[in-house]
Structure 1
Amino acid sequence: MDLVGGYYDAGDNVKFNFPMAFTTTMLSWSVLEFGQSMGSELPFALEAIRWGTDYLLKSTKVPDSVVGVVGDPNSDHTCWERPEDMDTPRTSYVVTKEKPGSEVSAEIAAALAASSMVFKDSDRFYSALLLNRSIQVFEFADRYRGSYNDSIGEGACPFYCDFSGYMDELLWGAAWLYKVTKAPYYWDYVLANIHYLESTVIRKVNGGPYLTGSVTEFGWDSKHSGINILVSQWAMTDPTISSPFIPKADELVCSILPESPAPKSVTFSPGGLLFKPGGSNLQHSTSLSFLLLVYAGYMKAANKVMNCGNNVIITPDRLVNFTKGQVDYILGSNPLEMSYMVGFGQKFPQKIHHRGSVIPSMDKHPQHMECHEGDLYFKSADPNPNLLIGAVVGGPAENDTFQDSRYNVPQSEPTTYINAPFVGVLAYFKV
C-alpha cells in the first residue's frame, strides 16, 4: 500500500491513525465553526486538513480494512532519529473483519465526514469522495465491532490504548454523518445507542467532589462530551430531542466553571489553568475551550442560558470569557509569564521533546545519523536548534511550574491533538 503522508502524533516518527484522525476531525470542526475568522490563514488550514485526509483515504482504500498504525512504535521509541534518517521498521498495523478496530475506524469516518463539509464549496468532487469513504468506513466499524487494543495490541498499547471503549467513536461518527447527510439512519443510530455513554462517577479529589465519566470527557480517546455539544446544535431547534444531549452539555459546562456549585470535572492551578488527571494537560485546556466556545455560539443562536444550581446563571458571554482566560494563560498570562506555544512571545519552551526540533537539520548536518547518534543532542543542555513554530507543548504542572527539559515528556512534548482544537479557538479570538 502507498501510505505516504499524514502526521506523526508528537515528537516521534510513528503514524498513530487514532489520534491523527481526531486531529483531522478537530481541524475540520475548527474551520466549520470559525473559518470565517481565519482570513488569509484559511487556505493553510484547508491544506493541513487535506494533508490528513489524503492519507486517511489511502489508509482506508482496501475494503473492509483500515490501517491503524504505521511504524513499529517500540523500535521507534528506542531511537532518537530525524524523520529523514529513520531506519526503524515501518510496520503497518491493520484492522480487518477478523481483527476489528471500531474506535480507530469510526474516528476516521468522523474525520472524513467533517472534512467533506469543509471542502463542499471549494472542491465538490473531493468532498463527495470523502463522504462516500466515510460512509463505507463507518459501516465497517459498526458491522465488525471490536477494539484495536486486542487486534493490533503492540501497535496501539501502551502508546494510544483505547480506554473508553469504541461506542463513543461509533456515536461520534454517526453524529457527524448525520450532520453532513441528514439521513435518518444516522440520527436513529445515535438515539438508539446514546444510553451506552450515560455513565457518570463522582469521586473525591482534593477533598471535594470530582466528576468523571462520559459527560465530562473529550479528547483523542473519549468523544463523549463532544457528541453532546455537536448534537446540541440541532437539538436546540427541536425540543423533542433535547434530552439527553442538552442536559449533558449543560452538565459539562457546570462541571468546569469555578463559580458553579455542581461537582467539578476539572481542578485549577493557582494561576487559573484547568487540569484533568494524566499527562500532556494542555490537550484538556484546548479541547474543552473549543467545546465551550462552540456551545456558546449555539446557546447564543438559541437565546439560551443555563442554571448550574443555586441560581448561578451561565450565559454565552461567560463561556467566552472563561475560554479567553485559558487562552491568555497558554500564551503567557500566567505566573511564569511563559508562553507554551513555541515561537510566540518573548519566553517560551526551548528544549521541547521533538526529534525534528532537537537534532540538527539536513542543511546543517547532511550525513545520515544512526539510531543513537541523536542521543548527544537530546542530552545537550543547549536549546533546540530548530524552532517548531506554533507547537503547543504539554504545559505546566498543577502548581504552575514548568520544567523546560526534553526528559519531562508530559510537559515538554507538543502533540497534534493539543494544537488542533486551539486552531479554532485562536481564530475566534482573532477578530
Structure 2
Amino acid sequence: MTTSMESGSCIVVIMCLVFAITAEANYFNNMRYVYARRGSSLSHNYRDALTKSLLFFEGQRSGKLPTDQRMRWRGDSGLSDGSAERVDLTGGYYDAGDNVKFGLPMAFTTTMLSWSVLEFGGRMGDDLPHARNAIRWAADYLLKATAHPDTIYVQVGDPNLDHKCWERPEDMDTPRNVYKVDAQNPGSDVASETAAALAAASMVFRSTDRPYSQLLLQTAMRVFEFADKYRGAYSDSLQSDVCPFYCSYSGYHDELLWGAAWLQKATANESYLNYIQINGHTLGADDNVNIFSWDDKHAGTKVLLAKAFLLRNINSLEEYKGHADNFICSLLPGAPTSQTQYTPGGLIYKMSQSNLQYVTSTSFLLFTYAKYLSVSKQVVRCGNIVATPARIRTIAKRQVDYILGDNPLRMSYMVGYGAKFPQHIHHRGSSLPSIYHHPKIIACNDGFEALYSNAPNPNTLVGAIVGGPDNNDHFSDERSDYSQSEPTTYINAPLVGSLAYLAHLS
C-alpha cells in the first residue's frame, strides 16, 4: 500500500519525466522544422569548411606577411609594434574587425587552436600544416610578449582611439601604445591564459620541432609561476585600456586553474597536480558555470581534467568527471538541470553579443568530451536521461550544421561557405578596398563611408564566423551591427576542432 506522500512523489517524478521528454521532443521537432525548410540532404562539405576556417586566420595576421600568405588582399602592418617600449611586438593577430592586438583573447585563441590539433589533428589531413602555422603565428608573438622576466606585454594599440577610426591595418596611424602587466600591476588572468596557450602549443610541436616545443614549455612554466606569485586581475590595473573590450569579468581564478591543468597535461609534473588538488576548490572547481569563453574557463578546465581521470587514471581528479557531467546536463534539452536556452531554430543562445562564440566553444567541448567518454566506455546520467557519446555528438553536430546553413534563414554564418553568407561583415580590412587595388592611404575618418555603406565588402574574409543571429534566429547582415556581424579569432578557433572531427566522418 502506498502512502499519500509516496503517491505525491511518484506524481512529481512522472511529471518531471514527462516535462523532460516534452522539452527534448520540442527541441528535436524544431530541428526537423529547420531541416525541412532547408530542403536538402543535410550534408555539408566539412572538409571545405575546415580549410576555410583556418584560412581566416591569415586574414587576421599582423606583422610582416610570409611569402606563402594565401589571403592575398592583405598586406604588411604593425611593423613598428613594440617600439614604444623598445621591444619587438610585431606579429600576432588582430582579435576581430579592429586593429588592436589584445593578449587575453589571442592567448585563448592559441589554446583552442592547439587543443583542436591535439584532439583532432589526426583527422585534419592536408589542413594540419595550416593549423600548425596558425598556432605558430600566435605562439611566436606570445614568446616575444613574455621575453622579459616578470613582465608580460598584453596589448598593442589604444582601443579607444582605434575604435574612433575606420582604416585598414596597412594604413594605421593611431597610437600603437603598449600595455603590460608586472609585479606591481599583476594580471593573473592574462598571464595564466598565456601559460596555457604556450603549454598547449608545446605539445602540438613536440613531434615536429622539439627545440621550439621545449622553449614554449619552459616559457609557459615561468609565466605561470609569475601569474600565481603576483595575483590580480589585469583589468584592475589597466582599467579603461582593456575595459569594456576584454575586461576580466570572471576574475582570474578560473585562468589559474586552467593554466595549471594545461601544464599538468604538458609536463605530467606532480607539482601541477598537487597545485590543482590544493587550490582547485578555492579557484572555482565547484562553480556551476555552463559557459566557456575567452573570459570564463571553468567548463573547459573541468572537461580537460576529466580526461586525466578517464584516460590517464588519475583518481585524485575523479570529481572533475562529475563536474564535466554536470556541464553536459546543463546543455541537454529536457534534462532536469538544463540551463540552456535554444532559439526556435535550435541554436544554443547564451548572450546577445557575438553569441556564436559560445556556440563554437560549447560544441568543441561536446565533441571532445564525447571522445573521452567513448574511449573510457562511459556515459553521462542526467536524472532519468542517459547522454551517450552519440547523443552528445548529435547536439554538437546540429550546432555546427546551424552555423553552416541549417537554420530558418538558410544562411551560412561562415563567410565564403555556402550559397548565402554575410556580405557586410564588421571588419575594417574586409570592408575597405585592398591596398593592392587602392594604394593611396585611406585616412582615419575617410573609412567611415564604408562602414555605413550598403555595398558588399570588397574583400572576402574567407572562413570568418560572424557573431550570429539573435534569440529569434534573426540576422540583419548590417556592418554597423557589430554584435551580429563582427568575426573574431576566438569564434573560429574552437570550430576548427569540431570541423576536423566532422570532416573525417564525411
- Secondary structure in structure 2 of the residue aligned to 1:236: helix
Aligned partner of 1:345 in structure 2 is 418
Aligned partner of 2:71 in structure 1 is none
Aligned partner of 1:276 in structure 2 is 350
Distance 1:277 1:404 in 2: 18
Match of 1:245 among 316, 320, 328: 320
* Alpha-carbon shift at residue 379 of structure 1 (Å): 1.3
Q: Which aligned pairs between 1:293-308 and structure 2 lie closer than 5 A? A: 293-308=367-382
Q: Deviations over 1:24-74 (max 9, x none)?
A: 000000000000010000000000000000000000001110011110000
Q: Deviations over 1:353-398 (max 9, x none)?
A: 0001100110111001111111111111101100000000000011
Aligned partner of 2:121 in structure 1 is 35
Aligned partner of 1:255 in structure 2 is 330
Match of 1:50 among 136, 153, 162: 136
C-alpha distance 217-197 of structure 1, shift in aligned 2 (>3 A): farther
* Alpha-carbon shift at residue 233 of structure 1 (Å): 0.8
Percent sequence identity is 56
Residue identity in the other structure for 2:100: V
* Alpha-carbon shift at residue 154 of structure 1 (Å): 2.2
* Alpha-carbon shift at residue 278 of structure 1 (Å): 4.0
Q: Is the 8 A contact 2:342 2:348 kept in 1?
A: yes
Q: Which runs of 5+ in 1 are unaligned?
A: 201-212
Q: Which runs of 5+ in 2 are unaligned?
A: 1-86
Aligned partner of 1:385 in structure 2 is 458
Match of 1:216 among 290, 296, 320: 290
Distance 2:395 2:292 in 1: 18
Match of 2:98 among 12, 24, 27: 12
Would you say 1:181 and 2:255 are equivalent positions? no
Match of 1:287 among 354, 358, 361: 361
Q: Which has the higher contact order (CA 8 A, sep 6+)?
A: 2
Q: Is the 8 A contact 2:257 2:283 kept in 1?
A: no
Distance 1:198 1:308 in 2: 22
Q: Is the 8 A contact 1:215 1:248 kept in 2?
A: no
Would you say 1:192 and 2:267 are equivalent positions? no
Q: Deviations over 1:80-112 (max 9, x none)?
A: 010000100000001010111110011000000
Which segment drifts farther, 228-237 or 324-333? Answer: 228-237
Q: Is the 8 A contact 2:97 2:428 kept in 1?
A: yes
| Displacement over 2 Å in runs of 4+ | 196-200, 237-244
- Secondary structure in structure 1 of the residue aligned to 2:338: coil
- Secondary structure in structure 2 of the residue aligned to 1:68: strand
Q: Is the 8 A contact 1:286 1:418 kept in 2?
A: yes
Aligned partner of 1:64 in structure 2 is 150
Q: Is the 8 A contact 2:434 2:459 kept in 1?
A: yes
Q: Deviations over 1:230-281 (max 9, x none)?
A: 01111125373244311110000000011312231x2000100001124100
- Which structure has the larger Rg over C-alpha atoms? 2
* Alpha-carbon shift at residue 217 of structure 1 (Å): 2.4
* Alpha-carbon shift at residue 198 of structure 1 (Å): 4.3
Q: Is the 8 A contact 1:332 1:338 kept in 2?
A: yes
Q: Is the 8 A contact 1:267 1:275 kept in 2?
A: yes
Residue identity in the other structure for 1:284: Y
User: What is the RMSD computed on CA atoms of the aligned residues?
Assistant: 1.2
Distance 2:140 2:433 in 1: 29
TM-score where L is the length of structure 2: 0.81
Aligned partner of 1:113 in structure 2 is 199
Aligned partner of 1:210 in structure 2 is none
Would you say 1:414 and 2:474 are equivalent positions? no
Which segment drifts farther, 231-240 or 58-67? Answer: 231-240
Q: Is the 8 A contact 2:361 2:495 kept in 1?
A: yes
* Alpha-carbon shift at residue 307 of structure 1 (Å): 1.2
C-alpha distance 199-242 of structure 1, shift in aligned 2 (>3 A): closer
Residue identity in the other structure for 1:117: M
> Would you say how many aligned residue pairs link Structure 1 and Structure 2?
417
